Structure formats: C-alpha cells, structure tokens
C-alpha cells in the first residue's frame, strides 16, 4: 500500500467491488470518467455504465429515472458541476422524491489547484445542506472514503459524497468502523476541540501533534458526515472543552462551520472559530500553495487554537 491515495481513487475501487456484489448498481458519468475514476467500473461492467456526455443536468435527471425504476445509481462529475450546474435537478428530481441516487462529486475545494476558481467548488456543501432528504459525506482519507461509498450504497435515498483530486495520507486502517452520521474522535483533549472534515482532518491531527509538544491538548474530531451532523459528539466537545474550532476546505458560510455552529448555539454556546475559505473565490496554483494562501493548513489551526484558549 502506498502512503497516499486520492479519495476519488478509493471511490473507483469501491465501485468495482460493489459492481461485483450487486446487479442493481448503475454508474453514470459526464465525460470525466478518467478523472472521477468511474472508468474502472465502466470497463468491468460496460452494460451498467452510461456516459451521459457533457450534460450534467441530464446526468441527474437520468439518474433519477433509473432510481425510480429500482436501480441504485452512482452519478459522478466534478463537484462544481454535480452540485452547482445540476443543482435544481438534484433538488427537484432527486431530493424531492427522495430517490436512490448517490452523487459522488470529485475535485471539490481549492485543492483542484491549477484549473483555478471556475473549477474549485467551495460552496457545494452549502448547496447540498440546504436540500431536505440529502445526506452529505466528506471523507478524510482513502479508507473512510471507501467505507463511505459502501454505506451510501446500503442507504436508501439521496447521498452526496464529496471527494478530492489530490492524494491524501491514510488516517485509518481497514478495521475502521464507519457509520453515516457518527463523527470519529481521533484525539482526546480538553483544552479545545477541532472539528474537521475532508482533507482538513489530516491538518487537524498535525496541528494536535504540534500543540502536544507545547503541552496543549486538543480534541480532534473527524466529522465525515456533515448532514445529518453528529450533534452528540459536538455537544460533548463543547461542554468538555469550552472552545470549538471547525476546519473545512469550503466557504465558511453554509458548510461544516455553520452546521456545527447551529448545534453549539442551540445546545451549549461556547467560543468558536471557523477555519475555511473566507468567502472568496480561489485561483490557480499548486494545492499546497493554495492551502497556505487561503489559510487552511495545520499552522492556521494551531494559531486558532492558541487564540481561542488565550
């Protein structure tokens, strides 16, 4: 096993396993199968793969029709187009009738990199969160991504899975128990809690290690499911640490930060900070350069923790 793998790669592998197990699994793509990694499934199960061409609206409408006919449908494109361009079809044709469509959107966030702002979805979570019936999963590593895909396939109804382009380190081992809607506490600590999602989970763990060297112990939670968000783990963290920091590769508006804040405000108000894209569009650059520029690195988390516990 290499030490890094993109979550989209894990998605592609999971699809092939699912395809072998279940006849009802259908995969649709919109001319990006080599990037979304549905290409493996398309080769192995060519009769159950449909390329819909560069037409994301019809990708979602067709997925809805297949699901209405009893199929479990995985529909893939880049997050920008799956959640953005096809938004209203996802709302009215998939979520409103609660059809069994799994929108697996890759290339989310600014770490798309060189393609620039036009392709960097920083609002997809916000869009999908506002839809009744939608489940949102944003896995942090290849192992949890694969498990998320299997759980999504088991679940009856619409699911949005947010996947990344870049290779990310492994956080989990294969024995990970993954439940939709159940956050994972990766590090115990009571001085502050960092609730992170997606690629920011690894940054949060790094931050915790840096802080540990300075005798600051923080809790790190992988909030892989953003909707329904794990209220219990959030309330517990707020009560036991008194300071909550969220970290996401997404606009701070409408994403994980908002979801956590909604729970904190309602149940146990404490100080909060939100690490994320500060309501601005991205730009071209290398993923690590962009993370630095938009202040979404482990160092930014360390800084936020120090400020909040002051």
Partner 1 sequence: MVVNYKNLESTASNIRHGILKSVHAAGSGHPGGSLSAVEILTVLYFYKMNIDPQNPQKPDRDRFVLSKGHGAPVLYSTLAERGYFEKEKLVTLRKIGSMLQGHPDMKRVPGVEMSTGSLAQGFSASIGMALAGKLDKSSRRIYTLLGDGELQEGLIWEAAMSGAHYKLDNLTAVLDFNGLQIDGPNEKVMNINPVNEKWKSFGWHVIEIDGHSFKQIIQAFDEAETVKNRPTIIIAKTIKGKGVSYMENNPDWHGKAPDNEQAKEALLELGGEANV
Residues assigned a catalytic role = 56
38 binds partner 1 (CB under 8 A): no
Query: Which residue in the set 1, 46, 47, 175 belongs to the binding site for partner 1 (CB under 8 A)?
Result: 47
Task: Tell me which stretch binds partner 1 (CB under 8 A): 48-56, 145-153, 261-269, 273-281.
Answer: 48-56
CB of 262 to partner 1, least distance (A): 27
Largest Cα span, the chain: 60
Q: Which residues contact 87 (CB under 8 A, 6 or more apart)?
A: 127
* Closest among 247, 167, 239 to 206, alpha carbons compared: 247
Query: Which residue in the set 52, 105, 161, 193 belongs to the binding site for partner 1 (CB under 8 A)?
Result: 52
How many other C-beta atoms lie within 10 A of the C-beta of residue 92?
Answer: 14
* # residues near partner 1 by CB under 8 A: 29
Residues between 162 and 201 with contacts to partner 1, criterion CB under 8 A: none
CB of 73 to partner 1, least distance (A): 8
Query: Toward partner 1, which CB reaches closer, 50 or 78?
Result: 50
Q: CA–CA separation, 152 vs 145, rounded Å?
A: 10
Residues between 54 and 73 with contacts to partner 1, criterion CB under 8 A: 55, 57-58, 60-71, 73
161: region left, alpha or beta (phi > 0 left; psi from -120 to 50 alpha): beta
Task: Tell me which stretch binds partner 1 (CB under 8 A): 43-51, 192-200, 266-274, 282-290.
Answer: 43-51
Residues between 199 and 238 with contacts to partner 1, criterion CB under 8 A: none
* Closest among 188, 268, 250, 199 to 8, alpha carbons compared: 199
53 binds partner 1 (CB under 8 A): yes
Residues between 69 and 128 with contacts to partner 1, criterion CB under 8 A: 69-71, 73, 88-89, 92-93, 96-98
Phi, psi of 174 (to 5 degrees): -60, -20
Asked if residue 119 lies in contact with residue 78, where contact means CB atoms within 8 angstroms, the answer is yes
CB of 79 to partner 1, least distance (A): 20
The β-bridge relationship of strands 159-162 and 135-137 is: parallel
Peptide bond into 228 cis (omega under 30): yes
CB of 134 to partner 1, least distance (A): 15
Q: CA–CA separation, 109 vs 121, rounded Å?
A: 5
Q: Which residues contact 25 (CB under 8 A, 6 or more apart)?
A: 15, 18, 19, 45, 48, 71, 72, 74, 153
Query: Toward partner 1, which CB reaches closer, 95 or 211?
Result: 95
Secondary structure string (H, E, C) spanning 12-25 = HHHHHHHHHHCCCE
CB of 225 to partner 1, least distance (A): 24
Exposed, middle or buried, 109 (CB in 10 Å: 0-12/13-18/19+)? Answer: buried
274 binds partner 1 (CB under 8 A): no
Residues between 243 and 262 with contacts to partner 1, criterion CB under 8 A: none
Residues between 14 and 33 with contacts to partner 1, criterion CB under 8 A: 26
Residues that bind partner 1 (CB under 8 A): 26, 47-48, 50, 52-53, 55, 57-58, 60-71, 73, 88-89, 92-93, 96-98
């Amino acid at each position: 096993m290499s030490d890094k793998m993109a979550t989209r790669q894990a998605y592609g592998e999971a699809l092939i396993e699912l395809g072998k197990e279940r006849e009802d699994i259908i995969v649709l793509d919109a001319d990006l199968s080599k990037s979304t990694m549905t290409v493996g499934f398309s080769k192995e199960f060519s009769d159950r793969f449909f390329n819909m061409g560069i037409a994301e609206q019809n990708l979602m409408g067709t997925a809805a029709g297949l699901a209405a006919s009893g199929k479990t449908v995985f529909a893939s494109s880049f997050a920008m187009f799956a959640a953005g361009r096809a938004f209203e079809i996802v709302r009215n044709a998939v979520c409103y009738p609660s059809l069994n469509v799994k929108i697996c959107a890759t290339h989310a966030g600014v770490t798309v990199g060189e393609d620039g702002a036009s392709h960097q979805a920083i609002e997809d979570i916000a869009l999908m969160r506002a839809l009744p019936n939608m489940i949102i999963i944003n896995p942090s590593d290849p192992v949890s991504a694969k498990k998320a895909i299997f759980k999504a396939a088991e679940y009856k109804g619409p699911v949005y899975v947010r996947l990344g382009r870049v290779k990310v380190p492994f956080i989990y081992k294969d024995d990970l128990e993954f439940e939709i809607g159940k956050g994972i506490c990766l590090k115990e600590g009571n001085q502050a809690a960092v609730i992170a999602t997606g690629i920011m989970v690894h940054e949060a763990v790094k931050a915790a290690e840096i802080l540990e060297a300075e005798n600051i112990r923080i809790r790190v939670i992988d909030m892989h499911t953003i909707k329904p968000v794990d209220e219990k783990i959030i309330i517990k963290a707020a009560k036991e640490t008194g300071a909550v920091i969220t970290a996401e590769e997404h606009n701070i508006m409408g994403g994980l930060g908002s979801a956590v804040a909604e729970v904190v405000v309602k149940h146990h108000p404490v100080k909060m900070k939100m690490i994320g894209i500060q309501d601005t569009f991205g730009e071209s650059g290398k993923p690590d350069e962009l993370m630095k520029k938009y202040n979404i690195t482990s160092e930014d988390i360390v800084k936020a923790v120090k400020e909040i516990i002051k």
